[in-house]
Structure 1
């Protein structure tokens, strides 16, 4: 009789139990997946019951997996601790100015780089020596955990003093034409806050006004905010403006007119919503992001108070006016989401808080065409034609063809349509996955949903017409750097992918089949960062930045991708690894490491070049330069310091001297031309002389024009004195009747 080995029966029983447990776990996972899918399809009461049932077993954080917390740097930007804050932001003025920077912001990624390896940013002598504001005040971080230590935003700068200003002064017409052209050429196509044809009609009329009326204060506030934004761009381009003319001057006038208690206590009208949206945009282009985020929330709530976020069915309002209000809402939506990405904060616009139609893919000057008017007036046709990429399903049974968009001739409205569609995907994804509530879902569910949104982004890309398509048939980057549509959409697309992937992308080796999904996500994140850097031309070119790229958030994209490359460089094994069948997944091959190194150097060159004209880029360069040196990356000898001319005057283009100023042949050429015609819908005056600059003194432009001494024949547009209309609509726009006791409208 054979002798039974000790433990043989127990071993068999244990193996059986393990098999049974594995089978049960598989079944449970299938049930969980089914319930997760049903969670978004059942009524609210049933969804709440499902959520409460799943919570006890699913609420553990991702970092329970040991491999997910292999290093603090690899998890920099992960959603661990997304619902907690480790510092008191109310402790001093600087911390309050910067405000909270969420886990999915570039600031959080920089701050959480591994301290043990010496790569964490610190307020060392380099920061003290080079990191000064354009006003000469040093950046003074208060510790490693301070947001200010890694902040390149400019919220610590003071607003222009609110001294008494003559709010009714206007610039000379040729100067105003030049600045308006700056705004409508580079900003308005992406933020159509005002209705162009109506605004320009009103604008041209103010140089021939009936003596009994004058522009209303809110219209003038809109006008001055547009001038402030356009002037900001011209100053970045190093254009010489007349003495006494600056964006601060125009902002101060708008501030006196309507950016005051009206924003807090008065009931908003359409013009006030436009003012608030323009103030948000102004703070964003000035890189005062905390202020911009605050005012954006005010603008969104004002718009909701007027129901601009809802589908409008009033048949008395003209189609063009309805579309103008729709575009005003989508401009606010764009601003709110861009700022949310920059700060890592949640947006105040809920995913189900709006029903307004998508903007039609046509420019304003095309509205009169019959097929465009059909789309404006036929709601059924509009709902049939315009659908979100996020909502389209590949197996739809109807006859909907999303590719009809490719047949539309290239225009700015089509570009805006695709940009809003892309922003909508990211808005919904972040709200679902990376909020404190959304992160209660288990890791398998989050990975599956990332896959879903990844496919939706691919679908969005497939809908682009050839003129806007920036990839080839293999989905590799292939764009024309001179195409504004391709550049803007490409930067937003790759930035969206980084935003989606980064919270679940620790760059390391992935062991086991269960981690294959993480390898895929990390690969996609790194590819997006490399592609984003590749969008930038090889040589730093200010003309490209401020005429082609989305310059108001270009630094965000550059730092977003650059930080991903730094995290990859720090955490990856540059020698690669051996693959054990399908059990190990690594993508840190030597060739890829070299590619990342080249991209880091390119980003370094760009930040250095831009630091000469933009203080926020200057701060970003200090941070990034310090990072690369700590990582022992090779940097360009021409971009070694911010001392010399760049430090003494960062906004001076033609400084010479300074031992570290760029003298090499690869120095950026700051040659900005203002040639070409105005856009068709922006024709200001067919007989207008081109603006001649530079001018030496603003006093040369002063005019003694008095509103009471103008030919009354040109005052027909002011037919209803006292009626305050809106630039978005089609109503009259003038405000109060002129009073002898009021100051005269002056020009300066």
Structure 2
């Protein structure tokens, strides 16, 4: 047997313990200082494969007296390339924004922000080309090109659609759950609220029948246990909400005793809008509820919400076939709101006019419908058609040249002599003008219009301007707004028609006014009427502002104007003057100086009205910001554009 190679003592396990392990201490590792590897060696040490201590400079390079240089590592190279690529993307983004104003609507949408990509834009929604918000946004994009290069990135982030929008949809509508839905204001206050509604809202939006509504109202306040339906109570509370908004703006002395608009709005919401709302079948009262809801939201500045509610009202009316009824007045009565919202948002209406066969409303107030002439018009569709063709000009229903304006073939009585001026006659001309506005937007601003030549567009503009001139020539003297009358009869109606008329002319002529198109399009310069269209647009803004006194009076304007959308009309006028001033500053200093006083007048009125209206206050902020931006860039543009001006 071989001897044990290890003569040392042998360790044996203690038989009393089960196979215990012997602890072996871990050997401590000692590293001499300066022996560790550095993270990166300099280029010279790496080249000669010598040790580098990683200092700046390293000890070897310092002892040899040579320059010590460290190369970037892989991570630094990647970070540097990413930074370079980010700068290139930002440069491309600025380039796209520079070209965006020169593109047509179809190409412009490809590089614009979309609400689906930005949650902040979802409250605003899509804003189309006819809206003044879109005009201010385009002006911001043009002015950004005049800023120094280093300032453009910050400006691009701030001057977006959100900074050009004055709607209040980004704010929450707070509904107090503790409010009793069956509560009501005192009878005396309710009477005053109804007086405000039928004075300031009903003539332009007669969605409810006044006589049966007032009859039900008296029953509701006089009987101890009135049997009123939830839908009727909803309508009543929405009427109270609209009246309360007007009373607050008009500073009525009793407004502190009435419920706030949001109190009445909350009652209406709790009464009629529940989880089964979408599943319920529509009826006429539901159409009235949805229409009034849209009007309240528009008056509160929540335009995107209003547009959605209005779409529900219009679709419910279509589901009931109201748009096809020859004896129904409801279709015409609801047309004003969708057309106004369509202009404010630049979106299409829910129901184009070509899908409606309902005639225009007859020019007789509700109290006159039992008279012989009104009764015959309601009963005889052919007589009504001839009567309306003779009374109001419409492009789609022009009467022959030898047709005389009579009620029928046997009568020689002119229609104007049997019509008593009233709210219904005003509403007839209001609806007719709103339909011309609808045709103008469809003809000039629809996506398909971008594929037409500029000459064809000018022909369409000329036809629309002629149509507005003919409409104005047919307006009765009692509603004429271009001639000043000492009488204050129908003052609200005159201003309502005036604001809509000038807004229509501005919308039609704005395509010729657009500064980028005048600068960059060669085909448009060859059209003789191009300058005339731009002049008509500017003159319309001037005439609109001439309606207002030089000294702003917010309460007076609320009492005589369409107060629910006055921010839209004033901002639209200011946006046009800003656009024209931007075009005139480099080359036409005298024209710019003539525009400035009117522009400042419009801003002064927005500022004054903003003291009592949050929506107008935000509209003033948007417009004033654009004006300040324009003034700042004025010096830059005059210097850079000297000697290169051309009309």
> Normalization by structure 2: what TM-score?
0.74
Would you say the 8 A contact 1:222–1:278 is kept in 2? Answer: yes
Aligned to 2:211: 197
Residues 72-121 of structure 1: per-residue CA shift (max 9 Å, x gap): 79959974646546213134543111111112211111111154645999
Aligned to 1:601: 600
The number of residues matched between the two structures is 518
Distance in 2 (CA, whole Å) between partners of 1:230 and 1:558 is 23
2:412 is the alignment partner of 1:398: no
2:571 is the alignment partner of 1:559: yes
2:482 is the alignment partner of 1:471: yes
Aligned to 1:227: 240
Q: CA deviation at 1:274?
A: 0.3
Which has the bigger relative contact order, CA under 8 A and spacing at least 6?
1
Would you say the 8 A contact 1:351–1:431 is kept in 2? Answer: no
Residue aligned with 1:215, SS:
coil
2:483 is the alignment partner of 1:484: no
Cα distance 1:487–1:120, how it changes in 2: closer, same or farther (>3 A)?
farther
Aligned to 1:315: none
Distance in 1 (CA, whole Å) between partners of 2:448 and 2:544 is 30
Residues 713-742 of structure 1: per-residue CA shift (max 9 Å, x gap): xxxxxxxxxxxxxxxxxxxxxxxxxxxxxx
Aligned to 1:351: 353
Cα distance 1:207–1:605, how it changes in 2: closer, same or farther (>3 A)?
same
Distance in 2 (CA, whole Å) between partners of 1:170 and 1:163 is 16
2:258 is the alignment partner of 1:256: no
Name which of 445, 452, 468 aligns with 2:456: 445
Cα distance 1:167–1:513, how it changes in 2: closer, same or farther (>3 A)?
closer
2:506 is the alignment partner of 1:495: no
Cα distance 1:625–1:617, how it changes in 2: closer, same or farther (>3 A)?
same
Residue aligned with 1:399, SS:
coil
Q: CA deviation at 1:261?
A: 3.8
Unaligned segments of structure 1, at least 5 residues: 1-70, 122-139, 313-321, 577-587, 634-748
Distance in 2 (CA, whole Å) between partners of 1:428 and 1:82 is 23
Distance in 2 (CA, whole Å) between partners of 1:422 and 1:299 is 22
More helix by share: 2
Aligned to 2:394: 389
Aligned to 1:717: none
The equivalences for 1:38-187 within 5 A come to 79=105, 81=107, 84=110, 86-113=112-139, 115=141, 117=143, 143-144=157-158, 146-161=160-175, 163-187=177-201
Residue aligned with 1:349, SS:
coil
Would you say the 8 A contact 1:501–1:522 is kept in 2? Answer: yes
2:429 is the alignment partner of 1:418: yes
Q: CA deviation at 1:522?
A: 1.1
Deviates further, 109-118 or 93-102: 109-118
Name which of 360, 366, 369 aligns with 1:367: 369
Aligned to 1:215: 228
Name which of 561, 564, 575 aligns with 1:549: 561
Distance in 2 (CA, whole Å) between partners of 1:540 and 1:119 is 35
2:637 is the alignment partner of 1:611: no
Distance in 2 (CA, whole Å) between partners of 1:146 and 1:220 is 42
Residues 254-294 of structure 1: per-residue CA shift (max 9 Å, x gap): 00111334542200111111000000000011110000001
2:290 is the alignment partner of 1:276: yes
Cα distance 1:117–1:338, how it changes in 2: closer, same or farther (>3 A)?
closer
Cα distance 1:282–1:79, how it changes in 2: closer, same or farther (>3 A)?
same
Would you say the 8 A contact 1:359–1:417 is kept in 2? Answer: yes
Would you say the 8 A contact 1:110–1:150 is kept in 2? Answer: yes
> Normalization by structure 1: what TM-score?
0.64
> Once superposed, what is the RMSD of the aligned Cα atoms?
3.2
Distance in 2 (CA, whole Å) between partners of 1:147 and 1:448 is 32
Residues 518-565 of structure 1: per-residue CA shift (max 9 Å, x gap): 212211111111112222222222332222101111110101011100
Would you say the 8 A contact 2:238–2:265 is kept in 1? Answer: yes
Distance in 2 (CA, whole Å) between partners of 1:596 and 1:390 is 35
2:469 is the alignment partner of 1:458: yes
Cα distance 1:410–1:275, how it changes in 2: closer, same or farther (>3 A)?
same
Residue aligned with 2:286, SS:
helix
Distance in 1 (CA, whole Å) between partners of 2:100 and 2:594 is 19
Distance in 2 (CA, whole Å) between partners of 1:471 and 1:492 is 13
Deviates further, 504-513 or 202-211: 504-513
Would you say the 8 A contact 2:251–2:555 is kept in 1? Answer: no
Distance in 1 (CA, whole Å) between partners of 2:168 and 2:560 is 24
Would you say the 8 A contact 1:111–1:150 is kept in 2? Answer: yes
Would you say the 8 A contact 1:279–1:292 is kept in 2? Answer: yes
Q: CA deviation at 1:148?
A: 1.3
Distance in 2 (CA, whole Å) between partners of 1:118 and 1:272 is 48
Q: CA deviation at 1:182?
A: 1.2
Q: CA deviation at 1:505?
A: 2.6
The equivalences for 1:562-581 within 5 A come to 562-572=574-584, 576=588
Residue aligned with 2:235, SS:
helix
Whichever of the two has the greater Rg, that structure is 2
Would you say the 8 A contact 1:337–1:423 is kept in 2? Answer: yes
Cα distance 1:298–1:344, how it changes in 2: closer, same or farther (>3 A)?
same
